[in-house]
């Protein structure tokens, strides 16, 4: 299961929603949620939002391009 960290504040420049991250990665939100469920990336909870760090999303995108 994915690692989940709770936030008391979230800087919108450092985090993306699942929908935004899926758009950056060029995948459907369902595919990204499956990837997260497998625990391959840390998710962050802020109130009711599930967020991903921008740098982690960019690193994953780079790794996928390198394949």
The segment with the largest mean pLDDT, out of 4-8, 24-28, 35-39, 58-62, is 24-28
Q: How confident is the model at residue 55 (pLDDT cuts 50, 70, 90)?
A: very high
Q: Find the helix or strand (DSSP H, E) in which 56 lies.
A: helix 54-66
pLDDT of residue 13: 85
Side-chain half-sphere CA neighbours of 6 within 13 A: 3
Q: How confident is the model at residue 2 (pLDDT cuts 50, 70, 90)?
A: low
CATH fold of 4-66 reads Arc Repressor Mutant, subunit A (1.10.10)
pLDDT of residue 6: 81
């Amino acid at each position: 299961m994915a690692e989940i960290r709770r936030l008391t504040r979230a800087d919108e420049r450092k985090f993306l929603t699942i929908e935004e991250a899926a758009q950056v990665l060029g995948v459907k939100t369902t595919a990204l949620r499956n990837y997260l469920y497998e625990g391959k990336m840390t998710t962050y909870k802020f109130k009711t939002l599930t967020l991903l760090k921008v740098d982690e999303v960019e690193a994953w995108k780079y790794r996928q391009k390198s394949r």
